[in-house]
Structure formats: C-alpha cells, structure tokens
Structure 1
Amino acid sequence: MDELIPLCNSHDLAEGGLAVPFDLVYAGQTCRAFAVRFAGLPQAYLNRCTHVAMELDWQPNRVFDDSGQWLLCASHGAAYRPDTGQCAAGPCRGGLVKIMLSEREGVVYWHTAYNLQPLLF
C-alpha cells in the first residue's frame, strides 16, 4: 500500500541547499533519510553511503558538494548523482536507495512503499 506522508513545505528545499532529514523504517531498521531539491525537483534517499554504511553529511544536513551538483559522502568521498542516486565517482557500490517523492500545492510528500515505512513518534 502506498501512503502519502507530508515531509516539508516546498520552500524548505532550496536548489542545491540544505537537506531536510527524516526517519523511516527500512528493512526492519530505523534509518535516517534526507530530501533535497535538484534541477527543480525534490529528491530523497536513505542517508547511507554504499561504500560503508555511514551517513553522507559533512555537517548537519549538508550532503551537496560545494558546487551543488553532487551528493558527496563526507567520510570517503563517494559522489552520487542527485537526480538518480547513482554512483558517479569514488568508492561506492551501486546507488543510494531512492525514496519516491511528490510535490503539490506547496507541500512535498514522500510515498511509503515496499519496506519504507514512516517512523512515528
């Protein structure tokens, strides 16, 4: 079943700017995820590098490189495409786990599907 969960207001995602973090359950584990805006569209991924399962952030909610064109793992330098999550350079094994988002009427929603479930407090 696919459910829409409000994530943030559209203006909270600036092009190439800070990520909006959120928690969810993936494969039975509580995981951190993040949403960003790239090429005008909201994108979201599990915050887990494929090289070593560490969060990408080099500072809180900073996952873009200085150019705003790549998602960059602060620990080992793996670079991922912000539009697909695919590995572009560095030590990575495949791509980031993508989380489906949609946007309407000034709100960004994420879609629960497969093993992705919201973490409710």
Structure 2
Amino acid sequence: MKNELKRVCVKPYDKDRFEVINDYTFSLPSFNGIVPKGFKTDGASIPRIFWSFYPPFKSEYFSACVIHDYLCEKANSRKDYKLADLALKEAMLLLGCSKFKCFVFYHACNLFHKIKCLMKETR
C-alpha cells in the first residue's frame, strides 16, 4: 500500500498567513503528530527572490510546510530542528514532490537551522 498524506485545511488569516481550521493529523515514516486547529503559518518561508521558482503557498508542498512550521515553533534544540526538517522531507515525498525539490527544501532548511543554532550558542 502506498503511503499518502492528507492535505491540510486552512483559511486566510492575514496577509500571506493562514490558519489551520481543523486539527491536522499526520503520519510520516519517522514521526506522527497533530497540528492543532488555530495554528497560524506562512507556508514555505522562502526568500521573496525565489518565489517565482518555489511559491510559498503552492499546494504541492503546502501541507508539508505547515507540519514543518509547527514542529519548528515547538523546537527547543538542534535535535528538534533536525526532526522538523526530516518531517518536511518525508511529507514532501508523500505528497508527490520531486526528489530534487525535496533535496533543495530539506538542505536549505537544515543549513538555516544549523546556522540559527550556532548563532544562539555564541550569544
């Protein structure tokens, strides 16, 4: 049986932000969880210069981004961010994104979180 991931249901909340309208239960190969109703997200946090290639609200990977945003909001350590980045990659694959796109998103997020955690340590 092929693994699949349901799509998250959201409503506009503010300019470039959305709110989850029902608890969003997800099951990934290495992690299961729930994004609670009312959680607010900006979709993929991609620098505007890259929006023509990877729009932040593209339905192809939007559900994966909601999971990632939620896990990042709850993250307290580098290990938590690694789990969030892995969840993003797994969710994108389950949603049918290309392996190349998964590679780009995963490694961009992973690098950002490494730098973010290093900067926190140096303060």
Q: Answer whether TM exceeds 0.5 for this pair.
A: no
Give the number of the structure whose alpha-carbon radius of gyration is greater. Answer: 2
Between structures 1 and 2, the one with greater strand share: 1
Between structures 1 and 2, the one with greater helix share: 2
* TM-score, structure 2 normalization: 0.30
* TM-score, structure 1 normalization: 0.30
